[in-house]
Structure 1
Amino acid sequence: MAGTSSKKQKRDNYRSSILQDGNSELPKKKFYRQRAHANPFSDHALTYPVSPQAMDWSSYYPAFVSKDEVPVESQQGQGNSVKRLTTSVEIADIGCGFGGLLFALSPHFPGKLILGLEIRTSVTEFVQEKIRALRSQQSSTSPDAAYQNTACLRANSMKFLPNFLPKSTLTHLFLCFPDPHFKARKHKARIVSPTLNSEYAYVMRSGGIVYTITDVEDLHLWMKGHFEGHESFEYVSEEELEKDGDVGVKVMRTETEEGKKVERNGGTKFVACFRRKEDPGWD
């Protein structure tokens, strides 16, 4: 127990030092390690807006918020005011882990807002601190500056994704190496399902792409089958995306922590991508 207490104290001291003003040191992963997966059905202590219009993004994208404040309603029903974004979030990584994909995507999409959503507390803090440090190192608050377009927040996407993102917002949605939930009784916790796919369709623009990757073939077939079986999505090959100059698959294959681990272990990466169809017209 003494050893555990000592490790916790060392971790807390390190995190406090990272937060000191003027410190631009990149955080070390060993002080933010946590269990690989979290139960999405647990009653996590989460903060979320009552609607996307009530979300205050000013601390996440300070270079992309307007000066004017608008009144909104909070979770408690009380009046509040927030600053609106000058542009909407277009790229999301659900279960972003330690943020490898976020940081790799940032220079490819200057001016477009990229959001990582992660349910684990310590892992979210690591990504947030790394973003803060990278921004501090280049000491520029211009929207065109590196990593100003990148943010991470703690959220349970299976429950609250539409609370953060308005309808028809995303052009890119990444589902990278999600928890396989091997046991059949836990398949309901998988990040892809008919119900969740409808939520993804809700927040995605027509023509937007969902990118999936895993090293578990059974999960790959599960995700592929559920997206192909959904009326709002159609399968799109890697070759077609490459022909269109899409960098999503290439970055997804090489830049996530899990992807690098699979590479080191000589494993196989299964990729499948799906385009959001246009909604049918009303008769």
Structure 2
Amino acid sequence: MGRVRVRQHVNPLARKFQFSVLPPDWTEIYDKSDRPLHVDIGCGRGRFLWKLAQLEPDWNFLGLEIRKPLVEEANEWRDDKELNNLHYIFCNANFALDSLLRSLPEGVLKRVSILFPDPWFKNKHQRRRVVQPELVDELSKFMVSGGEVFLSSDVEEVAAEMRDRFLEHPQFQIQTQEWLPDNPLPAASEREIATLSRGEPVYRTIFERR
């Protein structure tokens, strides 16, 4: 399967990306729709979830990505492995997350990951960053008590800002004040593997839904 070439960054505030999505029938998406669900926001090519779905067959996995060609490619990889616990959706999480989470079976959202999001370094562009107070609040409404949010970046400023957004919300509690030295999940994203291979640091943290 060839590798799809797409732009590395797209402006999530562009009008063409300001849309919600019609949630699918989850009973048609997953073999068992009541399994614990892991949502990866900004999943890119989806290889991280593709690996996790095979390592954790008792979980369901949902990747959200704003670049449509990557979503189409990721679902082809899923179909190639005949994985019935994995799905990818083309959307802008900052506009579509509420409707998607609201449609889920009650009590399934147990893990969320936001890994190496676009840093948008310029001050005038930082409102394009995915982790905004509204997104944190939406997650708080639908995650089960004890659910986990895993954040990581290779840019400490971005990791710190994501951490601070969750620290500001009363429903989330940080599990450790220090950056995590290791990835607590059984698989790593392509970006994390590449970053570590260059000997560069990764800044990780985990929050728990109270």
TM-score, normalised via structure 1 length: 0.66
Q: Which amino acid aligns with 2:163?
A: K
Distance 1:129 1:229 in 2: 39
Q: Secondary structure at the match of 1:223?
A: helix
1:160 equivalent among 92, 96, 113: 96
The 4+ residue runs of structure 1 with deviation greater than 6 A are none
1:60 equivalent among 20, 26, 29: 29
Structure 1 position 225, deviation (Å): 1.4
Does residue 276 (structure 1) correspond to residue 209 (structure 2)? The answer is yes
- Shift in alpha-carbon separation, 1:40–1:119, aligned structure 2, 3 A: same
- The percent identity for this pair of structures is 29
Structure 1 position 43, deviation (Å): 2.5
Match of 1:28 in 2: 2
Distance 1:150 1:238 in 2: 32
Structure 1 position 89, deviation (Å): 6.1
Match of 1:21 in 2: none
Structure 1 position 238, deviation (Å): 9.4
Q: Deviations over 1:152-181 (max 9, x none)?
A: 111111111111112654100000000111
Q: Which amino acid aligns with 1:28?
A: G
Do 1:211 and 1:248's aligned partners in 2 also have CA atoms closer than 8 Å?
no
Distance 1:203 1:94 in 2: 15
- Shift in alpha-carbon separation, 1:198–1:160, aligned structure 2, 3 A: same
Distance 1:234 1:157 in 2: 22
Distance 2:132 2:55 in 1: 30
Which consecutive unaligned segments of at least 5 residues does structure 1 have? 1-26, 65-84, 136-146, 242-246, 278-283
Do 2:36 and 2:110's aligned partners in 1 also have CA atoms closer than 8 Å?
no
Q: Secondary structure at the match of 2:62?
A: strand
Q: Which amino acid aligns with 1:272?
A: T
Does residue 113 (structure 1) correspond to residue 52 (structure 2)? The answer is no
Distance 2:16 2:108 in 1: 26
Of the two structures, which has the highest relative contact order with CA contacts closer than 8 Å and spacing of 6 or more? 2
1:170-189 paired onto structure 2 within 5 Å: 170-189=109-128
Do 1:60 and 1:152's aligned partners in 2 also have CA atoms closer than 8 Å?
no
Match of 1:42 in 2: 14
Distance 1:188 1:47 in 2: 19
Does residue 226 (structure 1) correspond to residue 165 (structure 2)? The answer is yes
Match of 2:146 in 1: 207
Q: Secondary structure at the match of 1:249?
A: coil
Distance 2:177 2:47 in 1: 21
Do 1:162 and 1:199's aligned partners in 2 also have CA atoms closer than 8 Å?
yes
Distance 2:5 2:26 in 1: 26
2:193 equivalent among 260, 267, 272: 260
Structure 1 position 120, deviation (Å): 0.2
Q: Which amino acid aligns with 1:98?
A: R
- Shift in alpha-carbon separation, 1:248–1:149, aligned structure 2, 3 A: farther
Aligned residues: 205
Distance 1:47 1:158 in 2: 9
Structure 1 position 47, deviation (Å): 6.6
Do 1:238 and 1:249's aligned partners in 2 also have CA atoms closer than 8 Å?
no
Match of 1:249 in 2: 184
Structure 1 position 59, deviation (Å): 5.6
Do 1:124 and 1:154's aligned partners in 2 also have CA atoms closer than 8 Å?
yes
Mean alpha-carbon deviation: is it higher for 181-190 or for 170-179? Answer: 181-190
Structure 1 position 203, deviation (Å): 2.2
Distance 1:262 1:97 in 2: 16
Distance 2:128 2:35 in 1: 29
- Shift in alpha-carbon separation, 1:189–1:88, aligned structure 2, 3 A: farther
